[in-house]
Amino acid sequence: MTRLSLDRVTFRYPATEAPALEDVSLEVAAGEVVALVGSVGAGASTLLLVAGDLAPRVVGGRLEGRVIFDGAGGDLRGIVLPMPWTQLSGMAFTVWDEVAFGPANLGLPRDEIVRQVDRAVARLGIEHLVARDPTTLSGGELQRVIVAGILAMRPTLLLLDEPTAELDLAGARTLWELVRALASEGTAILVATSDLDALPDVADRLVWLDRGRVAETGPVRLLASDEMLAANLSTTVASVWRAADLPAPYPVTVAQAMQRWQGR
Amino acid sequence: MAGPLTAALRFDRVSFSYGVVQALAEVSFELEPGEGVALLGRNGAGKSTLVRLVTGLARPGAGTIWVGDWDTRDVTPDQVARRVGSVFQHADQQLFARTLEDDVAFGPRALGLAPADVAGRVARALAALELGAHARDHPYDLPPALRKLAALAGALALEPSLLVLDEPTAGLDRALRERVARALLERAAGGAALLVITHDLTFGAEVLDRALVLDRGRLVCDESLAGLLTTAPRLEALGLIPPPVAALSTALDLPGRPVRAADAARMLARVAGGRPVP
């Protein structure tokens, strides 16, 4: 079931002529993880703002084409913005209250709020932080808190912009495992990330954005394609393999490299 | 062991607390000129506190921090800036001037340098990060990733003996990370010491030599970064995961366990081609 559909979307920020997104079409189905990859400035963040109904509604600008998200059955889309401190409510004195801010604004009954907050807190492994003042957290701690606050609203479409930017590799791995788990429960996930090495284990498909347009879309093994290697958008393993002048197709993960190496 | 006169930075049994929360406990280490050190540890391990202490924004509760031959207790943060260039994690908030070159010039001007000298430093810093084309742009017209590079250019323009960087690659794509890596390697080759908080071990492996690991405020590891990255059990005990090149070297049992991409590619080619391994 398609949760999100962009149909020939072109978007311009206020007072700009050049489109930030141009003629972009994509779909994300329930249970699917789609990764947006591209260089800085390619339009991934803008695409998430459009998909999350923040652009043009909040940031202004002009949209052509259609963004279809069916919220009729009470379905929600949740967006995790880059730089988590920009997403704090500013109205909570504790992490628990911060995570509760979203569900409280949805007008859920109190016991339901408690249930969802406790569940989200447990899923992010931030039980030890619930009594802390959100403004005193480290970047990595805050990133988990923001994700918990979004999950507590139980979105059916989750939009993530660089969700691991503040996390260490172990924290990032845990977050990616959570993304997979959410997808397996039926959440549709669209994630912009520069953590390309994680994608083979996380994403079902990728959409390569280049200067606001979809350059390529397909399976994650595209990360070993000549085009993505040339654009410096491959996995590390693929780029090392090519730099060593070993034959294509290049492996994208360490596990694939081991198989290839042992089968020499 | 180098004394306080020759080390770029020396921590001597430094402790620091936020009220009752001890953030650092008896931390001692030294950094030599030209040495690149990764400051590692889980979120909340004390890394940012350590950096605040180096830059003079906080004073140690106990112990002494030497920046060259200065005891940080005896100098003000603006004096520290003569030797320490720092870029914080949310670096795009450090910019304030109308043009990028003005912003980068702020530090050298504040040091009281002659205009020609300021201009030279600004040009070198912008060139090192390939920002020359943006010199006249307003900093806030740049995308956040380039603003981050701009803040780093400001620190480079101080031409400090020690660069202290908090997550210099967060939010950057690979091409920009490589720019930062090249600029830092160039400064290290010129004798600047690097103290870098980073969870980007891929970047760390390419640029840095040594690892300091903090765990709940204590320094639990001080050794070669390459050695640490290729010893998975010890890394995992520290809550760290090997970056892809180190993982590849280990998985394929490449001789010498290279952790830098170019070294690994050379070794792969050599072994695959059946050529002797040096």
pLDDT tens across B42-60, in order? 777 899 899 989 988 888 9
Contact A257 B43 (CB under 8 A): no
Nearest residue in B to A173, CA atom:
B241
Contact by Cβ (8 Å): A152, A78? no
pLDDT of A45: 94
Instruction: Give the dihedral sign, CA A9/A223/B200/A155.
Output: positive
pLDDT at A116 over 70: yes
> Peptide bond preceding B258: is omega within 30 degrees of 0, i.e. cis?
no
User: Which residues of A are the active-site residues?
Assistant: 162
Q: Does the distance separating the beta carbons of A232 and B174 come in below 8 Å?
A: yes
Q: Quick one: tokens of A146?
A: 């923001």
Average pLDDT, chain A: 93
Of the candidates B49, B47, B41, B63, the one whose C-alpha atom is nearest the C-alpha of residue B17 is B49
Which tops the pLDDT comparison, A39 or A128?
A128
What average pLDDT score do residues B131-136 get?
Answer: 94
- Tell me the C-alpha distance between B278 and B274, whole Å: 12
- From the DSSP assignment, how many helices (H) and strands (E) are in chain A? 9, 9
pLDDT tier at B1, thresholds 50, 70, 90: very low
The mean pLDDT of B264-269, rounded to a whole number, is 96
Which of B145, B240, B252 is the closest to A40 by Cβ?
B145
Nearest chain A CA: its distance from B146 CA (Å): 9
In A97-178, which ranges are E strands? 157-161
- Lowest-pLDDT choice from A71-75, B96-100, B137-141: A71-75
Give the per-residue pLDDT at B200.
87
| 3-class DSSP string for A188-223 | EEEEECCCHHHHHHHCCEEEEEECCEEEEEECHHHH
Which pLDDT belongs to residue B92? 64
Tokens 């702020």 -> residue: B106
Beta strands in B32-181 (DSSP E): 36-40, 62-67, 70-71, 84-87, 162-166
Binning pLDDT at 50, 70 and 90, where does residue B109 land?
A: very high
Rounded Cα gap, residues B192 and B74, in angstroms: 22
A198-244 confidence digits (pLDDT tens): 999 999 999 999 999 999 999 999 999 999 999 999 999 999 999 99
The secondary structure element, H or E, covering residue B15 is strand B9-18
Regarding pTM above 0.90, the answer is no
Between A11 and B202, name the one with better pLDDT: A11
Strand B210-215: give its sheet, edge to edge: B84-87, B162-166, B193-197, B36-40, B210-215, B218-224
Percent of chain B exceeding pLDDT 90 equals: 64
pLDDT, residue B4, reads 47
Q: Which residues of A touch B248 (CB under 8 A)?
A: 236-237, 240, 254, 257
- DSSP-derived secondary structure for A235-248: -HHHHHHHHTTPPS
Which element (helix H / strand E) includes A147? helix A139-151
Q: Cβ separation of B43 and A168 shorter than 8 Å?
A: yes
What is the pLDDT averaged over residues B82-89? 88
Q: Tell me the three state secondary structure of residue A98.
A: helix
Residues in contact with A174: Cβ distance below 8 Å, sequence separation at least 6, in sequence order: A125
Q: How large is the angle between the packed helices B115-128 and B100-110, nearest 10 degrees?
A: 130
Average of per-residue pLDDT values in chain B: 90
- CA dihedral in degrees (A83, A87, A91, A97; nearest 10)? -90
Q: Calculate the alpha carbon distances from B70 to B5, B10, B39, B52, B112 in Å.
A: 9, 10, 22, 16, 20
Residue B143: what pLDDT? 81
Q: What percent of chain A has pLDDT over 90?
A: 82
CB burial of residue A218 (10 Å; 0-12, 13-18, 19+): exposed
Q: Which two tokens stand for residue A203?
A: 């994403």
H-run or E-run covering B265 = helix B261-272
pLDDT above 70 (res B94): no
Spatial distance between the Cα atoms of A137 and A93, rounded to a whole number of angstroms: 12
B251: helix, strand or coil: helix
The reply to whether ipTM tops 0.90 is no
Question: Taking phi first (over 0 means left), then psi (-120 to 50 degrees means alpha), and beta for anything else, what does residue B269 get?
Answer: alpha
pLDDT of residue A159: 97
* Chain-chain contact of A196 with B265 (C-beta, under 8 angstroms): no
CA A205-A77-A100 angle, to 5 degrees, is 125
Q: What is the pLDDT of residue A254?
A: 95
Q: Which of A95, A254, A264 should we substitute to test contact with B (largest number of B Cβ atoms within 10 Å)?
A: A254
Kindly report, residue by residue over B218-243, the tens digit of the pLDDT.
999 999 999 999 998 888 887 788 99
Rounded Cα distance between A96 and A79, Å, is: 19
State the pLDDT at residue B239.
Answer: 77
Which pLDDT score is estimated for B278? 66
Q: Does residue B200 or residue B183 have the better pLDDT?
A: B183
CA distance to partner chain A, nearest, from residue B229 (Å)? 12
B198 in Cβ contact with B206 (< 8 Å): no
Would you say A162 and A193 are in contact if contact means Cβ atoms under 8 Å apart? Answer: yes
**Interval A47-102: pLDDT, tens:** 999 999 999 999 999 999 999 997 667 789 999 998 888 899 988 999 999 999 99
| pLDDT in the model for residue B93 | 65
Instruction: Please give the structure tokens belonging to residue B229.
Output: 């990255």
Q: What is the pLDDT of residues A195-206, one digit of tens each?
A: 999 999 999 999
